[in-house]
């Protein structure tokens, strides 16, 4: 009988042994999660996980910050290991055929960007994507964080808009780019023959996007280059016989009717900043998961659950009476690299997906990923065009970017559903600390968009 080697431990596993291990893994995960995450509607662990940060002494304050960080990490790991796909990965909805086609196209476009682009246009970000019942062929999308606390925020916006424009317009992007005069009196910016709309954005924000190399600097061509040499891109079985145009169609499942609405959401951003911003004070948002900051433990990280992509997209939909129209949804990580598996080395800056919020293989077992794809397949979430890619050896790659909710968003499920926003004090938060804000303002701080989550 043929043997295979474990990638990590060097043990020999027969096919029979691997199947046995897979069954035991599923049984163990189900057992560990019994009573913990089996209830898909109630956050029955919230009282044991969230820490009340009010304290009388510096010592108590330090203990609570450390406990908050520890609880955050434990819950994040349990979310990632849970076999209850519907209550973790699909906690806020499942991606529709339209969303999956769009993310397949975005996956391929991003592989070209990170492989062919220069360092000044490369960046990574968390997104949330939604389709509504009454808006056919329309994608709603946003990214996490906000401009004043993420010095790469506009760079990220430039990157994602550049990729979206390439997907929708290909070699005609030059005639369908963003312009200042596209902004209307309602602070919405419609352009690209009405196929792209940026919602709730100010003129100053558009100007900053237009200054970004990530938006202006081209990273791909539309001539004869098929990009077949890129290791992780989707290729046809007969690439040599195909034209560059036909291969582009194979990698891009959007059509001429596809529209994208990007949610900037200044309303929610400003409400969360509070009246005294950038000085500390009282603000209002979905409840954050307070924890000691990863790199500055004396300060609180206050973004998880409050300025994540889920919070920004759901708040906008509620504010515009669209939340009940949700047909499907998913969070999706856009990576800065084309590495997968062991090549990632568990570093988000070296990976196509986010290792902390994705399903990764474990000793050749890929149970949660296989189950997730099975759910989508059996519930007819794949278009005919996407199903034809199932035999492609890159098939699972596009799903690695599907992102589990962070602990703050996981616990905010009922708040998102009922649109419950809370007032909270910001004086201990790293992003509201005046010295820290000054460093962000002058671009001398490190990029906090990953380490705070």
- Per-residue pLDDT, 33: 41
Amino acid 339: pLDDT: 95
pLDDT for 15: 64
Residue 149 CA: distances (Å) to CA of 41, 145, 275: 32, 7, 16
Residue 16 in this model has a pLDDT that exceeds 90: no
For residues 14-31, give the mean pLDDT.
53
Angle between helices 97-116 and 153-169 (to 10 degrees): 110
pLDDT score at 14: 65
Answer whether residue 434 shows pLDDT above 50.
no
The pLDDT > 90 percentage for the chain reads 69
Q: What is the pTM of this model?
A: 0.86
Share above pLDDT 70 across residues of the chain, in percent, rounded to a whole number? 83
- The pLDDT tens digits of the residues spanning 339-383 come to 998 888 889 999 999 999 999 877 678 999 999 999 999 999 999
Q: Which residue has the higher pLDDT, 43 or 149?
A: 149
Give the per-residue pLDDT at 21. Answer: 56
Weakest-pLDDT range from 16-25, 99-108, 314-323? 16-25
More confident site: 72 or 19 = 72
394: nearest Cα among 168, 278, 203, 227: 227
Kindly report whether the peptide bond that precedes residue 278 is cis, defined as omega within 30 degrees of 0: yes
pLDDT bucket at 60, cuts 50 / 70 / 90: confident
Average per-residue pLDDT in the chain? 86
41 CB-near residues (< 8 Å, 6+ apart):
413, 414
pLDDT beyond 90 at 57: no
Q: For residue 316, what pLDDT band results from cuts at 50, 70 and 90? A: very high
Per-residue model confidence (pLDDT) at position 260: 98
How are beta strands 196-199 and 259-263 bridged, if at all?
parallel
DSSP state at residue 307: S
Band of residue 19 on the pLDDT scale cut at 50, 70, 90: low
What pLDDT score was predicted for residue 54? 75
Distant-in-sequence, close-in-space partners of 340: CB < 8 Å, separation ≥ 6: 232, 351, 352, 353, 397, 400
More confident: 50 or 96: 96
Which sign does the torsion angle of CA 142, 217, 400, 293 carry?
Answer: negative
Q: What is the pLDDT of residue 310?
A: 98
**Could you tell me the pLDDT band of residue 11, with boundaries at 50, 70 and 90?**
very low
Give the end-to-end CA distance of the chain in Å, rounded to a whole number.
46
């Amino acid at each position: 009988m043929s043997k295979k080697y474990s990638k990590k431990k060097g043990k020999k596993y027969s096919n029979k042994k691997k199947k046995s291990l897979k069954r035991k893994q599923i049984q163990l995960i189900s057992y560990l999660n019994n009573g913990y995450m089996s209830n898909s509607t109630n956050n029955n662990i919230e009282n044991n996980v969230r820490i009340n940060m009010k304290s009388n002494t510096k010592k108590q304050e330090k203990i609570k910050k450390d406990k908050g960080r520890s609880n955050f990490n434990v819950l994040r790991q349990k979310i990632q290991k849970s076999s209850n796909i519907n209550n973790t990965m699909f906690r806020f909805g499942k991606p529709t055929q339209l969303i999956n086609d769009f993310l397949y196209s975005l996956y391929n476009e991003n592989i070209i960007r990170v492989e062919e682009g220069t360092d000044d246009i490369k960046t990574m970000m968390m997104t949330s994507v939604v389709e509504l019942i009454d808006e056919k062929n329309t994608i709603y999308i946003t990214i996490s964080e906000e401009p004043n606390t993420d010095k790469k925020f506009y760079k990220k916006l430039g990157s994602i808009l550049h990729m979206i424009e390439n997907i929708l317009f290909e070699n005609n992007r030059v005639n369908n780019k963003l312009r200042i005069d596209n902004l209307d009196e309602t602070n919405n910016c419609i352009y690209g023959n009405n196929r792209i709309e940026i919602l709730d954005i100010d003129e100053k924000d558009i100007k900053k996007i237009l200054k970004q190399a990530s938006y202006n600097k081209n990273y791909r061509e539309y001539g004869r280059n098929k990009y077949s040499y890129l290791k992780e891109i989707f290729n046809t079985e007969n690439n040599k016989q195909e034209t560059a145009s036909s291969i582009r169609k194979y990698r891009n499942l959007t059509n001429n009717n596809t529209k994208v609405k990007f949610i900037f959401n200044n309303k929610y951003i400003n409400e969360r900043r509070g009246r005294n911003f950038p000085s500390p004070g009282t603000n209002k948002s979905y409840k954050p998961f307070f924890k000691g900051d990863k790199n500055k433990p004396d300060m609180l990280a206050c973004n998880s659950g409050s300025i994540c992509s889920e919070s920004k997209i759901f708040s906008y939909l509620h504010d515009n009476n669209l939340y009940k129209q949700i047909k499907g949804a998913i969070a999706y990580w856009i990576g800065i690299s084309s590495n997968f598996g062991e090549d990632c080395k568990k570093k988000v800056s070296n990976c196509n997906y986010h290792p902390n919020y994705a399903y990764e293989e474990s000793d050749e077992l890929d149970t949660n990923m296989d189950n997730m794809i099975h759910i989508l397949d059996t519930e007819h979430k794949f278009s005919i065009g996407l199903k034809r890619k199932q035999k492609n050896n890159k098939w699972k790659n596009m799903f690695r970017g599907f992102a589990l909710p962070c602990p703050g968003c996981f616990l905010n499920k009922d708040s998102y559903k009922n649109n419950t926003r809370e007032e909270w004090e910001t004086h201990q938060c790293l992003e509201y600390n005046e010295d820290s804000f000054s460093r962000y303002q002058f671009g001398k701080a490190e990029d906090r968009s990953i380490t705070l989550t």
